[in-house]
Amino acid sequence: MDKTKILVVDDNPTIRKGLSVRLRANGYEVLFAEDAISATAALITERPDLVLLDLGLPAGDGFVVMERLHKNDSLASIPVIVLTGRELAGNRDRALQAGATAFFQKPVEDSALLFAIRKALDVSRGELRFDE
Amino acid sequence: MTTSTQPVSSLPAYLSHELRNALCCIHQFGNILVDGLAGELTGEQREYVGIILENASKIRIVLNRALDGVLETPEKTTNKIEPVSKLET
């Protein structure tokens, strides 16, 4: 069985590396994108199972990536978890309204992030409802 | 430091982005070390990384109170300048 693929979108290479170490240790395959353009390209070519998305990105931002994702019927069901350094005010509600499954402000507890990832994957595979 | 093309709207927003990213790196790699993902630590090494993480958590709490307090409820933290009457002599 193929490993679950997670696309990590963040312009900070150190954060990408830290997330990749943590996610790989938990059995996930990790793909990377560092801006909104490469994130969109990776969504189309790699079709990840989940996206871990920063909001402050070059060449667009996380909201642009979510908009593109949800406009594409074949990609729209991919769950997106936002992990950002941006302030809560304005961004949390906007991200959830834009279709994000969960919103975390950096730094996040690894256990909370991994739980949200597992839950989002279960929901997207139809193994769990959002309210469970 | 900011590489995003999006304009940073205010000093608190800029500080939130930059400080949270830096703190995230400390938190991520500290936990990677503690969890043994880069090899087992000695007891002493574990203690020292624990001190780093504990203090990073304190900074995070201060940051949450200071920045999100400012950004979410500006009316509570804005210094109002009131007219001051001259001292009576």
How large is the ipTM?
Answer: 0.86
Q: pLDDT digit string (tens) for B32-68?
A: 999 999 999 999 999 999 999 999 999 999 988 887 6
Cα–Cα distance measured from residue B82 to residue A73, given in angstroms and rounded to the nearest whole number? 56
Residue with tokens 């997330």: A19
Give the number of other CB atoms < 10 A from CB of residue B3: 11
Query: How many of the other CB atoms lie within 10 Å of CB of A108?
Result: 20
Give the Å distances, CA to CA, from A30 to A8, A68, B5: 7, 21, 25
Q: Which of A14, A3, A28, A45 has the alpha carbon at shortest distance from A81?
A: A28
Q: Does B71 touch chain A (CB under 8 A)?
A: yes
CB-based contact A12 B16, cutoff 8 Å: no
Comparing CB atoms, the residue among B4, B23, B24 nearest residue A11 is: B4
Whole-number Å distance between alpha carbons of A28 and A82:
18
Burial status of residue A51 (CB atoms within 10 A of its CB: 0-12, 13-18, 19 or more) = buried
A→B contacts (Cβ < 8 Å), by residue, are: 11-12, 14-15, 18-19, 21-22, 25, 56-61, 84-89, 105-108, 110
**Quick check: A58 and B56 CB within 8 A?**
no
Segment A31-46 mean pLDDT: 95
CB of A81 closer than 8 Å to CB of A101: yes
Residue B45 in contact with partner chain A when CB distance is under 8 A = no
Under 8 Å CB pairs connecting chains A and B tally to 79
- Cα distances (Å, whole numbers) of residue B87 to A73, A94, B28: 71, 50, 56
- In A13-113, DSSP assigns E strands to 29-33, 50-53, 80-84, 102-105
Give the pLDDT confidence score for residue B74 in this predicted structure: 44
> Where is pLDDT greater, at A65 or B86?
A65
Region A8-13: what's the mean pLDDT?
96
Percent of chain B exceeding pLDDT 90 equals: 51
In order of their start, the domains of chain A are 5-124 (3.40.50.2300)
